[in-house]
Structure 1
């Protein structure tokens, strides 16, 4: 399989060692954060829609019968590839509970679809440990390698699901890059400025939804 077929992990395979990384893949995202009646976060539901150029490259890589489209078995292969490839990146999911980073479990499956010239990926991840609705919670989706730009077109694309979660005070945060740099100049390391793909500090620039419960 071509290196470009390792969807969303292209940074690890193809990205050059440059001083400043920049996105090569663009995706619009929707994230639903789900809480149950026991006041715990149960899962995060994702829908990602990719730009047409990258989507076309996926068709080229996975179109085994050369009919210029992705058939059900080919879409299944796309989903399996992403499922394995994104494990080391925590499925681009960032969860912070009272200052502690929470990992997610591997999803059961990733469903791929191809509509109107764009690749869609749909899947749900569950926190790797219990997450009661207590204190400060933060949820977001970003690529730590900065190779893929994950964008939430509107604040409404970050969705709390469940009466208990909606009762918490919450807001969508869209950091201003200049403000982040100015406020964190002392803590941002030389490694970040020389090669941001080698650090996890890019999460400070990522759109997120925050809760106070």
Structure 2
């Protein structure tokens, strides 16, 4: 019995170190695994770097206006009805009879402070008892005296009561350019004695290209 018990005790003492070694190995593996998990967690929480680049610009509006002149020298910015340019027609304009014709030339240019070129459209409006008996035409000419025609007619024989807007009749491309327009008014055969009309030619400039 004594030998048997002694053998059993030896086996038990032999197994304990092995069991203890396995437990230590498991703890070590667990600690190592935990360290890997902690390492992954640390990589995820690293901060990201940022940088900003900025650009700056200043902006201001340009300037644009048309001005007109009856003599080709003295120009002004005119607006109907109060400031409308008074055209200098032939003397016949105030003493028309049927089939008579009267003409006037005036000049258009850009205001001196303009920073854009212009595309110019035109229209007419009229009132008075003679308005239904008048037609008009517009021709570009070489100078304020009437000179020679420049190109074809901008408007050909149209009633002064027409509501037509003539888009892009002409352009003014620089501060040095002056456009001379000859307006001709014709009375028809039905013009009555003592009749009169007030006619306004409106030009509208639209800014196009920077000068």
Could you tell me the TM-score, scaled by structure 1's length?
0.29
Q: Which has the higher strand share?
A: 2
Q: Which has the higher helix share?
A: 1
Could you tell me the TM-score, scaled by structure 2's length?
0.29
Name the larger-Rg structure.
2
Identify which of structures 1 and 2 has the higher relative contact order when contacts are C-alpha pairs closer than 8 Å and 6+ apart.
1
